[in-house]
Structure 1
Amino acid sequence: MERVYTLVLLCAVSALGIKPNDVKNVSVTDRTETELTFQWDIVEGNTNYTYELMNGSGQIIEITATDRVVTQNVSSLSPGTNYSFTLYTVSNETQSDGFNFWAVTVPSNVVNVVVVNRKETEMTLQWEKVNNHEIYTYELDYKDGEKPIPRTNLVEQKVENLTSGTEYFFTLYTVFKDVKSSGYNFSNVTVPYNVADTPIVVAFNDTDVIFKWNTSNKAYNYSLENSKTSRGYINIIFTQGNEVHISGLNPATNYSFTLYTEFFDVRSTGYNFSHTTSLSRVTEVKITRSLTQLNITWNKLNKNNIYDYILSPNNGTETSFNGSSEGNEITHMYSDLTPGTLYSFTLFTQVNGQRNGYDFKSITTINCMSFTWDVTNSSINAIVNGSTNITAKNSAGNETFPVYKNTVNLTKLYPGDSYTVSLWNYLGSEKLLQCSHNLTLVPNSVLNLSCTHFSGGYGLAVIWDLPNGVVDVVQVDVDRQSFNLSSNTSQRQEVKNLQVAQWYKVTATSFSGDMQSKTETHNCQTDPAGVIAGVLVFFLLVLIICAAVYLWFRYGSAKRNKSSKPPPVVSNVTKKNYKPIPMHKFPEHFRHMSCDENRGFSEEYEDLSSVGIEQSNAAAFLPGNNNKNRFSNVLPYDSSRVHLTVNDEDDSDYINASYMPGYGNASKQYIAAQGPLPSTVNDFWRMVWEKRSQAIVMVTNCTESGRVKCEQYWPLDYSPCLYGNLVVTVKSEDKAQSWTLREFNVKNKSSSETRTVKHFHFTAWPDHGVPFGTEELIKFRGRVRQHIENSYSAGPTVVHCSAGVGRTGTLIALDVLLQQLDREKEVAIAAFVQQMRLCRPLMVQTESQYVFLHQCIMDTLEPKVVALSEPLYENSDMIYVNAIALRKYENGSKI
């Protein structure tokens, strides 16, 4: 009924032309940046409306809704704009006066926000005004709520009271007439704090360092920078952790670092600190010492070329070394120094003008032979320099004594024993050998020297007791006759062919090496009861001599022409006194001896033919020894033969070898030996080991002219060979045109001791002859002499050929005579050959070798430009081979 009433009323109003009523209120139910949604109540049942924008045209809205509320959406609007509307009620083409209202669209958001300044507890934000409108305001919302923003074109907002190193989330609203934009969301962080304390150094060296610092936030990263290096800058960033290892730094350099705390991409202001790299020093040098030189060697520090070095002697000029131009090992030699002198040095490591020094000392060696040694039968005394301690070593062991005020005083030593005296210098904890010298003490004199007569009054038996200590030989002299007896034989010497009822002066002297005791003297009388028998014997001898002379003149000449074997010598030969020839007179002497086809040489050599042959060689004929002799007429004398040590019942002390004198008073400087037989090779090496020989000189080839001259007593290759109890290994081999030099390692299986033995092998010397020229042999002798003089604690030098007399004697004589020529400026060739023949028969076996000795001395004084065209003299003397010893070997053994 009510609806009908209303309709009737409207029809009446329309018929009368009355305006409908306006909408009483319009509300905005939704808005966006481009749309507005309005809502109002229906006015008096009217369903038609129109609205008008101030800058647009109206629109008729028709609605057939049953609801009493009208909803209208207006689109295509501009953001953030205030729109004015007039809403008309329409009825029968008549509209109301209009209801005026306004509404705004949602403003646009800010496009971008930047941080123009930030600190640990604040940051300043900046953005551009939306659409450059002055009508907008802004609201910033973060954890503490909204903050009003002043109206400027470029809007800045300082946000304070923040926490350092923290990420904040913001929403920035554009506001127009109390209408907010949807909001611009962004986040940013405050500056983190620097580390609180200076980073500590965990580890460092010259070029590396490890820093560590405290941190309270594991989310922080850290970066380290230094911009003052030659490589640009160091920039190390860590994602986690609070430790950094920096390498590649320069030693002795100060570096300034800045340590940044980083949170996201924001750094702290930076914590500044510095570190100076260290400069290490060389801590070890190697020094090779000699009399006048010190050779100093060290390795580059850390194998790095950045270091330079300065070597500074205590009193001298510094020497610089550039590390980039030197190898990994740097060497410098100081020459022309004083023997036995202590030198101090500082080796500086240098970088960037900074130094770090290593102090060290060394001392030059000394020559033991330069001191005067006072040797008695129980002590050794000397004034020395450059040493602090001395050791005296004999077969019993070592004894060490201090050197007090440069004085050596070794007491309570064993008479006649040989000692290796070594001078040492204790330099801090280092024990340095200064020199070593072999000395033999004076032996004690023989005891209880006495005589008994025998042989019907024509002989004396000299008897004595050996003293305490070492005695090698006892020399007994009776009536111009001299007898050398080994201490191992009985203490008795029988002297025959004396006169009856005569007094004789008998002397006895003990020898140890080249040292002799005080001579003991005793007067002895032969038995007077044999005078009558002596007279009868005298007449009988006269008759025999007359008969012998007659037979000699009648038959001797023809017999001598038929036989090539020299006649046996049956009489003793008195030792002649050969005078040395001064160096300046030797050329004239040589020319004189060479006249008439070397007549002078022949006569002098003939005088030496029977020297020493009367001496006993009984040991060579003992059972078991005879087959150890290569030749039947080259047998060692009992007085000078080499004795081997007897350890087992099957051992023998015999070897065909003799001690030979050297220069001066050295009575056992050499051992002249025959070339080893297959059965004596072990004995040969046993002799080398027991006598502590450090050199073997071989002047023969193993095979010559198809005949075996010497058994090869060393390994054929570099594989070790066992000789008795000794293992011999070839360590090296160096071949030249005329000789071969080898080095052997000799190891004793029982003691495991190892020694080095040099082997000098001259290969250009024919048997029974001489080399083609003198030059090569003189050079070879020089090498041997150099080794002998450089060898500490060396025993006798072993020299051998085949028989051990011809080439062996020539080489020994050449070595001694050249020493005599150098030191005394004179030479006594005949005297030394005579001395050798008293120790071993047939030394310098042929006349050609005797002449060759003179030629060597001559060529040393007047070196020749052109070598001789042929040997000086050829001697065809033969040595008779011991067939018993060699028959089995020559029939079946290989060379």
Structure 2
Amino acid sequence: MEGVLTLVLLCAVFALGQMKPANVANVKTSQTETELTFQWDIVDGNTNYSYKLMGDSAPIVLINATGQVVTYTVSSLSPGTNYSFTLYTVFNGSQSDGYNFSAVTVPSNVGSVSVFDRKETYIILQWEKVNNRSDYTYELKYWIKDEPPTQSPTDSLEEHNVTSLSPGTEYFFTLYTVFDRVRSSGYNFSNVTVPSNIANPPKVVDFNDTDVTFQWITSNIAYNYSLERSNTSREYIYNIAEGIEVTRHINGLNPATNYNFTLYTEFFDVRSTGYKFSHTTSLSRVTGVDFTRSETQLIITWNKLNKNNIYNYILSESNGKEESFSGSSEENEFKHTYSSLTPGTVYSYTLYTEVNGQRNGSTFRSITTINCVSFKWDITNSSIEAQVNGSTHVKAENRTGNAISLPITDNRVKLQELYPGENYNVSLLYHLDTEELLQCSHLLTLVPNSVGRLRCEYFSGGYGLAVIWDPPTGVFDVVQVDVGKQSFNSSSKEQKLNVKSLQVAQWYTVTATSFSGAMRSKTASSNCQTNPAGVIAGVLVFFLLVIIICAAVFVWLRYRSGKRNNSPKPLVESKGTKKNYYKPIPMDAFSEHFRNMSCDENRGFSEEYEDLSSVGIEQSSAAATVLENKEKNRFSNVLPYDSSRVHLTVNDEEDSDYINASYIPGYGNASKQYIAAQGPLPSTVNDFWRMVWEKRSQAIVMVTNCTESGRVKCEQYWPLDYSPCLYGNLVVTVKSEDKAQSWTLRELNIKNKSTSETRTVKHFHFTAWPDHGVPYGTEELIKFRGLVRQHIENSYSAGPTVVHCSAGVGRTGTLIALDVLLQQLHREKAVGIAAFVQEMRLCRPLMVQTESQYVFLHQCIMDSLKTKVVAQSEPLYENTDMIYVNSIALKQYENGSNI
């Protein structure tokens, strides 16, 4: 039995050794680009397996398994390849029939993806085929951050258009390579669509000639912007983070220029197609100019616009004539003068700014000034009237500051209800646009009112009258009272005048006239009788009086005869004789001489002055009558003699050696101590200063005011203020000014521009000499002369002292004579007034021009003797009553004879 069992077992074992093992039931695969991993369950506990790669010449590979599940990896494979395998179960050297299966390795990702084209709603992607495999397909997945992805199947092409996208958005992509339904790990990348342009054009919120400010609205604060100026390809880049309203300022532009701009929206590095627009810069105009006005000139001044050199300027007249000015000038101020204009005329000008051929202009107007003196002023005691031009308003202001302002109708000034005798500064104005322009000013004095209730009372026991009056209403300076042939001046504070030395029981015509400056009132008149109480009644007395009168007449006739025999008579010599013609009067005899000359209403003075009238007139004045010199003479009857005229230096052909001025001798041997000159005209001011410089004068004595009684007597030839003024080649500067009641003293510096040499000149200006006649008293003039004499004596090396009034003969001659005669009186104890006047007239005509000035000169000597001026080493002046009454001067004023 046992033997049978053993045999069966041996047969079974043998049979089993000849049977094939079973195949694996199933193989699971996983893959990468270069590996395939297989997994299967152990079959019947077998641990030995083998596989063979189909089509591969490699031998069968044995696999020893452990555990219940077998995992095996095949490496070094090619990506994206289909591999076929046979897996064998091996047992006791026998293998199964084999389990056949295939697996695919993962294909490789694309190397890169580029954007072939993009717009606001699509992106065209492009890539190279992986390994140039045409059997590969591709899948694209894309999404926006924080949103689910979208699957986009593709064909086998290497280009794909991703559409229906949002503008200016970042998209994330994964591109898969697919082979046999196996996808690669995926190529990850991102890209953006083109951002959209702004929806609305930018607004210009501010601009000027060179700057502009744009503003626009954005719907996405993640966008950036770039603004391109196509004229220069200049870009302005802006990073936007502050909101949806964007404001940007651009400067450095040119005025009047059109600029093309493109505004790009930028997202990451992608910019939009760009919004195109344009802007033209503005061209500003000059809004303000200054006018410097005169009668015949307008000077227009303006500043460089914005201090920028790019602007040029065109100044156009109303007739179309233009003047051009380059903006490249280094000066910040431009100036242009229009000359030869008509006084009192409105002129219009347009000032253009110009850039790139474009203009922008403003129109300005101004008016030339006028000369108030040229009009005829009708003046009463309460009104001022005149026919004028070039004015729309008139303003009159008195010395207290009260003013009247009225419009001018029909070019007629009518100022009424003014204060009698008052001084009014009358200004003519022109209201032009928004400006009130001063055309000219004129100082006028109204006619004073007459005195009231002129009457007389007995005085001095019948030998005088007390003249009484009520002062006139308004302003007045002095009241002149005439009693018979006597004339007296009374101050404005007095209302009574006592007149002596009249005859008893006689009727006298008494008149009173008030004066305000040069204006005189109507004359008030009254007949007055001296006290007749002392007259002895009866025939006896009558005969006694007749006898007395006859005796008096006899004595008077003898006295007259003796006076004629003793009065100075011309010697036999000709008028050309100088000091020998009249003999000096000793100091102690001068008082009696003065009384004798004053008798019979100054008959002695009249005869002596008349005797001097023809002195020197036969001399030649040829240079003064040359055609080009005639206009340099203020008066045609006051011409310098050729023998004594001042010659100026002639440096070139345009210069002239002529000036209306003459050398006058001084005391002793000083043959050219003075220059008597006319007051400068506008055309001779430069010549006047040339004379002062060339003759080295250190003193100028002026005995006139520039304007008197509404008439120009002398041109203002020194600076109005402390600013230097140029006269020809000389710069004159006022260094100091000291005003007193009757004079003004100035110190002037004169600099020669050619040599830079500077000198000091003293200017003595006597302001209290009336336009007509002589000063009211001698004291002030004597003091003034003392100041001048002191300066002359302290300036021994100086040239001649220049003395002038208006014509340079009347007041000028009187002052020069006073200076010389007081020197003579001090040194010789005698004075020869007539002899020195004769000597001056041989050098210049009409010196001491009027009889009143000649009498006044004698009065100055009388008052100097009384104050003992000549007895002192230095002048000593005392207050004395005014002796000389200027009746002759007032009468000559009435006749208008004085210059």
1:428-577 aligned within 5 A:
428-452=433-457, 454-455=459-460, 458-496=463-501, 498=502, 504-524=508-528, 567-569=590-592, 571=595, 573=598, 574=602, 576=606
Whether 2:746 is the aligned partner of 1:760: answer: yes
Q: Classify 1:252/1:595 alpha carbon distance in 2 versus 1 (closer, same or farther; 3 Å).
A: closer
Aligned to 1:819: 806
Whether 2:177 is the aligned partner of 1:174: answer: yes
Q: TM-score, normalised by structure 1?
A: 0.66
1:538 offset after TM fit, Å? Answer: 8.0
Which 10-residue stretch deviates more, 232-241 or 841-850? 841-850
Aligned to 2:26: 25
1:388 offset after TM fit, Å? Answer: 0.6
Aligned to 2:137: 137
CA contact (8 A) 1:742 1:759 kept: no
Whether 2:404 is the aligned partner of 1:399: answer: yes
2:641 partner SS: helix
Aligned to 1:109: 109
CA contact (8 A) 1:251 1:278 kept: yes
1:255 offset after TM fit, Å? Answer: 2.0
Q: Deviations over 1:544-591 (max 9, x none)?
A: 999999999xxxxxxx99987774346163264666977477528979
Q: Classify 1:10/1:661 alpha carbon distance in 2 versus 1 (closer, same or farther; 3 Å).
A: farther
Aligned-partner Cα distance in 1 for 2:126–2:92 = 58
Q: Which residue, 278, 281, 293 being the options, matches 1:277?
A: 281
Aligned to 1:804: 784
2:783 partner SS: coil
Aligned-partner Cα distance in 1 for 2:637–2:565 = 46
One-letter amino acid of the structure 2 residue matched with residue 328 of structure 1:
N
Aligned-partner Cα distance in 1 for 2:118–2:665 = 124
CA contact (8 A) 1:309 1:320 kept: yes
Q: Classify 1:664/1:291 alpha carbon distance in 2 versus 1 (closer, same or farther; 3 Å).
A: closer
Aligned to 1:327: 331
1:439 offset after TM fit, Å? Answer: 0.4
1:540 offset after TM fit, Å? Answer: 9.1
Q: Which residue, 200, 203, 228 being the options, matches 2:203?
A: 200
CA contact (8 A) 2:869 2:876 kept: no
1:435 offset after TM fit, Å? Answer: 0.7
CA contact (8 A) 1:662 1:816 kept: no
CA contact (8 A) 2:421 2:519 kept: yes
Q: Deviations over 1:335-372 (max 9, x none)?
A: 22221111112222222222222222111111111111
Q: Deviations over 1:468-517 (max 9, x none)?
A: 22221122334543322222223325153x55565554443221101112
1:369 partner SS: helix
Aligned-partner Cα distance in 1 for 2:663–2:349 = 62
CA contact (8 A) 2:296 2:340 kept: yes
1:434 offset after TM fit, Å? Answer: 0.9
Q: Which residue, 303, 318, 321 being the options, matches 1:314?
A: 318
5+ long unaligned stretches in structure 2: 1-8, 144-148, 536-544, 568-582, 618-635, 646-661, 672-701, 751-758, 769-775, 792-800, 848-867, 880-899
1:768-787 aligned within 5 A:
none
Q: Classify 1:473/1:846 alpha carbon distance in 2 versus 1 (closer, same or farther; 3 Å).
A: farther
Q: What is the CA RMSD across the aligned residues, in angstroms?
A: 5.3
One-letter amino acid of the structure 1 residue matched with residue 238 of structure 2:
I
Aligned-partner Cα distance in 1 for 2:236–2:261 = 10
Aligned-partner Cα distance in 2 for 1:33–1:455 = 160
1:162-241 aligned within 5 A:
162-229=165-232, 232-241=233-242
Q: TM-score, normalised by structure 2?
A: 0.66
Q: Classify 1:732/1:665 alpha carbon distance in 2 versus 1 (closer, same or farther; 3 Å).
A: closer
Q: Deviations over 1:230-257 (max 9, x none)?
A: xx42433233342211112222222222
1:878 offset after TM fit, Å? Answer: 3.0
Aligned-partner Cα distance in 1 for 2:175–2:251 = 48
Aligned-partner Cα distance in 2 for 1:885–1:761 = 28
CA contact (8 A) 2:511 2:524 kept: yes
1:856 offset after TM fit, Å? Answer: 9.0
Aligned-partner Cα distance in 1 for 2:207–2:461 = 101
Q: Which residue, 236, 243, 249 being the options, matches 2:247?
A: 243
Q: Percent identity?
A: 49
Q: Classify 1:317/1:849 alpha carbon distance in 2 versus 1 (closer, same or farther; 3 Å).
A: farther
2:373 partner SS: helix
Whether 2:46 is the aligned partner of 1:46: answer: yes
Whether 2:383 is the aligned partner of 1:379: answer: yes
Which 10-residue stretch deviates more, 456-465 or 420-429? 456-465
1:803 partner SS: helix
1:302 partner SS: helix
Aligned-partner Cα distance in 2 for 1:269–1:308 = 40
Aligned to 2:626: none
Q: Deviations over 1:643-670 (max 9, x none)?
A: xxxxxxxxxxxxxxxx987699759999
Q: Classify 1:849/1:136 alpha carbon distance in 2 versus 1 (closer, same or farther; 3 Å).
A: farther
1:147 offset after TM fit, Å? Answer: 1.9
Aligned to 1:587: 641
Which 10-residue stretch deviates more, 200-209 or 444-453? 444-453
2:217 partner SS: coil
Aligned-partner Cα distance in 1 for 2:704–2:435 = 39
Aligned-partner Cα distance in 2 for 1:207–1:561 = 88
Q: Classify 1:131/1:667 alpha carbon distance in 2 versus 1 (closer, same or farther; 3 Å).
A: closer
1:217 offset after TM fit, Å? Answer: 1.8
Q: Classify 1:830/1:89 alpha carbon distance in 2 versus 1 (closer, same or farther; 3 Å).
A: closer
Aligned-partner Cα distance in 1 for 2:806–2:403 = 32
CA contact (8 A) 1:202 1:210 kept: yes
Q: Which residue, 870, 873, 879 being the options, matches 1:878?
A: 870
1:66 offset after TM fit, Å? Answer: 3.5
One-letter amino acid of the structure 2 residue matched with residue 87 of structure 1:
L
CA contact (8 A) 1:817 1:828 kept: no
One-letter amino acid of the structure 1 residue matched with residue 345 of structure 2:
T
CA contact (8 A) 2:264 2:271 kept: yes
Q: Which residue, 413, 423, 442 being the options, matches 1:408?
A: 413
Whether 2:326 is the aligned partner of 1:339: answer: no
Aligned to 1:128: 128
CA contact (8 A) 1:21 1:43 kept: yes
CA contact (8 A) 1:366 1:435 kept: yes
Q: Classify 1:142/1:500 alpha carbon distance in 2 versus 1 (closer, same or farther; 3 Å).
A: same
Aligned-partner Cα distance in 1 for 2:711–2:302 = 44
CA contact (8 A) 1:733 1:742 kept: no
Aligned-partner Cα distance in 2 for 1:115–1:25 = 46
1:284 partner SS: coil
Q: Classify 1:10/1:193 alpha carbon distance in 2 versus 1 (closer, same or farther; 3 Å).
A: farther
Aligned to 2:622: none
Q: Give aligned pairs, total.
A: 697
CA contact (8 A) 2:141 2:174 kept: yes
Which 10-residue stretch deviates more, 383-392 or 236-245? 236-245
Q: Classify 1:303/1:423 alpha carbon distance in 2 versus 1 (closer, same or farther; 3 Å).
A: same
CA contact (8 A) 2:483 2:511 kept: yes
